[in-house]
Amino acid sequence: MRSIVPTLQFIARHPLSSRGLLGAYWRYVRWQLESRLRDEVVFDWIAGSKLVARNGMAGATGNIYCGLHEFTDMAFLLHLLRPGDLFVDVGANIGSYTILASAVCGARSIAIEPDPGTVQSLKRNIDANRIGDRVTIIEAAVGAAAGTERFTIGQDTTNRVTADTSFETREVAVRVLDEILAKEDPVLIKMDVEGYEPQVFAGASDTLMKTSLVAVITETVDPTIRSVMEKHGFVSAAYMPFERSIVSHGSSGNSASSPNTLFVRLDQINARLKTAAYRQVAGVAV
């Protein structure tokens, strides 16, 4: 019961599912039943895309219940990207953001994920959406220098690089973002690497100079990261998906909520956000 209550509260408070609670609670009940009857569930998601999930995939189930688990950031991606753009998914997990970028928006994606088991789930989602021609998978962690690191096992979306010997870990390859993107022109980068972001940024100085790059979504921010982003012309901001507007943090009327930090080059994105197509997500036009 304790695990059910926070989930139901999350659904009730979510900006999308709160507008259609009966449908959201039905999706929750349906998932509970179907995930116990079969090894994987193929969920019809947005604009013909599919999400393949199994029991225990917390981030994926949030998409099933609510439409977009991380509503603010996922809506930003949907409104920003266009066919042919390059999206870089650092810490792709099973590929929720990659599906939105490549199956829904038609962009190219580079999906970077170090955990071998999770990579298999990522590949399954890419195959289910028939976007293999648009997605490049890199099985590695990203850091300040090439090499290897210990990476946790069996912690779903919170698997991470760690030196803590109390966790079960495996050795994974580490690559540098500047090397991966040396000949690429990314438009949007998302980083979700459970506290390893400072090391990722340390190996991304050339990438941040690219004029094609207009936004970065990152889970962890420290003063060094903030200084580096400001140096390269990015400002920290919040996105208001229903209004399709960017507001500065601390601005009055800012009701946007996200566990991540959004950095943008303002002069290059407003027109894109305002003119993006509307899509039906959990019965709501987004």
Tokens of 229: 């982003």
Q: Please count the residues of the chain.
A: 286
Query: Do residues 137 and 89 make contact, with C-beta atoms less than 8 angstroms apart?
Result: no
How far apart (Å, rounded) are the C-alpha atoms in residues 90 and 237? 20
Reduced 3-state DSSP string for 264-285: ECHHHCHHHHHHCCCCEECCEE
Burial 214-235 (b: 16+ CB within 10 A, else e): bbbbbbbbeeebeebbeebbbe
What mean pLDDT comes out for the span 120-143? 97
What mean pLDDT comes out for the span 137-146? 93
**Model pLDDT for residues 244-264, shown as the tens digit of each residue:** 999 876 444 444 568 899 999
The 10 Å Cβ neighbour count of residue 185 is 11
Q: One-letter amino acid identity for 71?
A: F
Q: Is residue 235 assigned to a domain?
A: yes
What is the residue range of 119's domain? 70-285
The model's pTM is 0.91
Distance of CA 276 to the CA centre of its chain: 19
- Pairing verdict, β 169-175 and 141-142: parallel
Residue 102: give its domain's CATH number: 3.40.50.150
Tokens of 205: 């100085």
Q: Is residue 222 assigned to a domain?
A: yes
Q: What was the pLDDT predicted at 253?
A: 41
Query: Do residues 113 and 92 make contact, with C-beta atoms less than 8 angstroms apart?
Result: yes
Q: What was the pLDDT predicted at 251?
A: 45
**Model pLDDT for residues 60-98, shown as the tens digit of each residue:** 999 999 999 999 999 999 999 999 999 999 999 999 999
What total number of domains does the chain contain? 1
Q: Is residue 42 assigned to a domain?
A: no
